[in-house]
Amino acid sequence: HTPLPSHPRVLACSGCLHSPFSPMMGRTQEDCVQLTGRWYSIGLASNSNWFKEKKHLMKMCTTVISVTADGNLEVTSTYPKGDQCEKRNSLYTKTEQPGRFSYTSPRWGSKHDIRVVETNYDEYALVATQISKSTGSSTMVLLYSRTKELSPERLERFTQFSREQGLMDEEILILPQTDKCMADAA
Protein backbone atom coordinates (compact mmCIF):
# COMPACT_ATOMS: atom_id res chain seq x y z
CA HIS A 1 0.00 0.00 0.00
CA THR A 2 1.56 3.26 -1.10
CA PRO A 3 1.29 6.14 1.40
CA LEU A 4 -0.94 8.95 0.24
CA PRO A 5 0.81 12.18 -0.76
CA SER A 6 -1.51 13.99 1.59
CA HIS A 7 -4.63 12.49 3.04
CA PRO A 8 -7.43 12.99 0.48
CA ARG A 9 -9.96 13.96 3.13
CA VAL A 10 -7.58 16.58 4.47
CA LEU A 11 -7.09 18.18 1.10
CA ALA A 12 -10.72 17.79 0.18
CA CYS A 13 -11.56 19.60 3.36
CA SER A 14 -8.86 22.17 3.69
CA GLY A 15 -9.12 24.60 0.85
CA CYS A 16 -8.11 28.12 1.47
CA LEU A 17 -11.06 30.45 1.59
CA HIS A 18 -9.75 33.96 1.54
CA SER A 19 -10.89 36.30 -1.18
CA PRO A 20 -14.05 37.20 -3.06
CA PHE A 21 -14.84 37.04 -6.74
CA SER A 22 -12.01 37.10 -9.25
CA PRO A 23 -9.97 39.08 -9.86
CA MET A 24 -8.28 38.78 -6.48
CA MET A 25 -6.42 42.07 -6.47
CA GLY A 26 -6.83 44.64 -3.74
CA ARG A 27 -8.37 42.38 -1.11
CA THR A 28 -7.90 43.05 2.57
CA GLN A 29 -7.72 41.33 5.94
CA GLU A 30 -11.46 42.06 6.34
CA ASP A 31 -12.16 39.88 3.29
CA CYS A 32 -10.25 37.08 4.95
CA VAL A 33 -12.26 37.46 8.15
CA GLN A 34 -15.53 37.22 6.20
CA LEU A 35 -14.57 33.72 5.15
CA THR A 36 -13.89 32.34 8.59
CA GLY A 37 -16.21 29.77 10.08
CA ARG A 38 -17.61 26.46 8.90
CA TRP A 39 -17.71 25.23 5.30
CA TYR A 40 -18.84 21.93 3.80
CA SER A 41 -16.88 20.23 1.03
CA ILE A 42 -19.34 19.71 -1.83
CA GLY A 43 -17.12 18.88 -4.80
CA LEU A 44 -13.63 17.56 -5.34
CA ALA A 45 -11.77 17.11 -8.63
CA SER A 46 -8.23 15.81 -8.95
CA ASN A 47 -5.91 14.01 -11.33
CA SER A 48 -3.79 12.53 -8.53
CA ASN A 49 -3.33 8.82 -7.96
CA TRP A 50 -4.74 8.89 -4.43
CA PHE A 51 -7.95 10.40 -5.75
CA LYS A 52 -8.34 7.63 -8.32
CA GLU A 53 -7.75 5.02 -5.61
CA LYS A 54 -9.93 6.56 -2.90
CA LYS A 55 -12.71 8.51 -4.61
CA HIS A 56 -15.26 5.72 -4.12
CA LEU A 57 -14.77 6.11 -0.32
CA MET A 58 -15.02 9.89 -0.14
CA LYS A 59 -17.87 11.74 1.55
CA MET A 60 -18.73 15.32 2.38
CA CYS A 61 -16.80 16.72 5.34
CA THR A 62 -16.43 19.98 7.24
CA THR A 63 -13.70 22.59 7.33
CA VAL A 64 -13.42 25.42 9.82
CA ILE A 65 -11.27 28.43 8.84
CA SER A 66 -9.80 30.96 11.23
CA VAL A 67 -7.32 33.79 10.66
CA THR A 68 -4.10 34.02 12.66
CA ALA A 69 -2.78 37.34 13.96
CA ASP A 70 -0.32 37.56 11.06
CA GLY A 71 -2.95 36.93 8.38
CA ASN A 72 -2.35 33.25 7.69
CA LEU A 73 -5.18 30.73 7.71
CA GLU A 74 -5.66 28.01 10.25
CA VAL A 75 -7.66 25.22 8.64
CA THR A 76 -9.28 22.48 10.74
CA SER A 77 -10.87 19.61 8.82
CA THR A 78 -13.11 16.94 10.30
CA TYR A 79 -13.85 13.86 8.23
CA PRO A 80 -15.06 10.27 8.68
CA LYS A 81 -12.32 7.64 8.87
CA GLY A 82 -13.66 4.17 9.57
CA ASP A 83 -15.95 4.39 12.59
CA GLN A 84 -14.33 7.53 13.94
CA CYS A 85 -14.09 11.21 13.13
CA GLU A 86 -10.60 12.45 12.42
CA LYS A 87 -9.46 16.05 12.76
CA ARG A 88 -6.53 17.60 10.93
CA ASN A 89 -5.05 21.05 11.36
CA SER A 90 -3.09 22.86 8.66
CA LEU A 91 -1.56 26.33 8.46
CA TYR A 92 -1.89 28.04 5.09
CA THR A 93 0.70 30.77 4.68
CA LYS A 94 -0.29 33.94 2.83
CA THR A 95 1.74 35.01 -0.19
CA GLU A 96 2.31 38.36 -1.86
CA GLN A 97 -0.64 37.71 -4.13
CA PRO A 98 -4.08 38.24 -2.56
CA GLY A 99 -6.17 35.09 -2.48
CA ARG A 100 -3.11 32.87 -2.85
CA PHE A 101 -1.58 30.73 -0.10
CA SER A 102 1.07 28.06 0.25
CA TYR A 103 1.23 24.94 2.36
CA THR A 104 3.84 22.21 2.71
CA SER A 105 2.69 18.87 4.08
CA PRO A 106 4.95 18.00 7.03
CA ARG A 107 4.06 14.33 6.57
CA TRP A 108 4.55 13.94 2.81
CA GLY A 109 6.69 16.94 1.86
CA SER A 110 4.32 17.94 -0.93
CA LYS A 111 4.06 21.66 -1.72
CA HIS A 112 0.63 23.18 -2.30
CA ASP A 113 -0.03 26.39 -4.22
CA ILE A 114 -3.59 27.28 -3.24
CA ARG A 115 -5.66 29.99 -4.88
CA VAL A 116 -9.20 31.09 -4.31
CA VAL A 117 -10.79 31.34 -7.73
CA GLU A 118 -14.09 32.88 -6.63
CA THR A 119 -16.38 33.15 -3.62
CA ASN A 120 -19.25 35.29 -2.39
CA TYR A 121 -18.45 34.64 1.31
CA ASP A 122 -21.86 33.46 2.48
CA GLU A 123 -22.73 30.75 -0.05
CA TYR A 124 -19.81 29.12 -1.85
CA ALA A 125 -16.09 29.17 -2.61
CA LEU A 126 -14.18 27.65 -5.52
CA VAL A 127 -10.55 26.81 -4.79
CA ALA A 128 -7.78 25.51 -7.07
CA THR A 129 -4.58 23.86 -5.82
CA GLN A 130 -1.41 22.82 -7.62
CA ILE A 131 0.41 20.10 -5.71
CA SER A 132 4.11 19.40 -6.35
CA LYS A 133 6.15 16.55 -4.95
CA SER A 134 9.22 14.57 -5.95
CA THR A 135 7.19 12.07 -7.98
CA GLY A 136 5.35 14.72 -10.03
CA SER A 137 2.57 17.26 -9.79
CA SER A 138 -1.21 17.21 -9.75
CA THR A 139 -4.17 19.58 -9.88
CA MET A 140 -7.05 19.73 -7.44
CA VAL A 141 -10.25 21.81 -7.48
CA LEU A 142 -12.53 22.11 -4.45
CA LEU A 143 -16.05 23.44 -4.10
CA TYR A 144 -17.13 24.58 -0.64
CA SER A 145 -20.53 25.64 0.62
CA ARG A 146 -21.88 27.18 3.82
CA THR A 147 -24.69 24.60 3.66
CA LYS A 148 -24.83 20.94 2.67
CA GLU A 149 -26.44 21.76 -0.68
CA LEU A 150 -25.67 24.15 -3.53
CA SER A 151 -27.61 25.23 -6.60
CA PRO A 152 -27.20 23.30 -9.87
CA GLU A 153 -25.58 26.47 -11.31
CA ARG A 154 -22.80 26.39 -8.70
CA LEU A 155 -22.25 22.67 -9.26
CA GLU A 156 -22.06 23.25 -13.01
CA ARG A 157 -19.56 26.09 -12.51
CA PHE A 158 -17.38 23.73 -10.45
CA THR A 159 -17.53 21.06 -13.17
CA GLN A 160 -16.83 23.58 -15.93
CA PHE A 161 -13.89 25.16 -14.08
CA SER A 162 -12.44 21.71 -13.31
CA ARG A 163 -12.57 20.84 -17.03
CA GLU A 164 -10.86 24.16 -17.83
CA GLN A 165 -8.00 23.03 -15.56
CA GLY A 166 -7.58 19.95 -17.75
CA LEU A 167 -9.43 17.50 -15.51
CA MET A 168 -11.52 14.72 -17.07
CA ASP A 169 -15.12 13.97 -16.12
CA GLU A 170 -14.09 10.81 -14.25
CA GLU A 171 -11.76 12.98 -12.14
CA ILE A 172 -14.64 15.25 -11.00
CA LEU A 173 -16.76 14.21 -8.02
CA ILE A 174 -19.74 15.74 -6.21
CA LEU A 175 -19.19 14.33 -2.72
CA PRO A 176 -22.01 12.22 -1.26
CA GLN A 177 -23.72 13.79 1.75
CA THR A 178 -23.27 12.19 5.15
CA ASP A 179 -24.29 13.04 8.70
CA LYS A 180 -21.16 11.37 10.04
CA CYS A 181 -18.75 13.78 11.75
CA MET A 182 -20.80 16.84 10.80
CA ALA A 183 -21.76 17.65 14.40
CA ASP A 184 -18.23 17.07 15.65
CA ALA A 185 -16.73 19.85 13.57
CA ALA A 186 -14.94 22.60 15.45
Residues identified as active-site? 61
C-alpha distance from residue 110 to each of 34, 44, 45 (Å): 29, 18, 18
Sign of CA pseudo-dihedral 50, 113, 156, 179? positive
Strand-strand pairing, 73-81 and 172-174: unpaired
C-alpha distance from residue 175 to each of 106, 109, 125, 132 (Å): 26, 26, 15, 24
**Phi/psi at 70 (nearest 5 deg)?**
-95, 15
At residue 131, the 3 state secondary structure works out as strand
* CA-derived radius of gyration, the chain: 15
Whole-number Å distance between alpha carbons of 155 and 160: 9
At residue 105, the 3 state secondary structure works out as coil
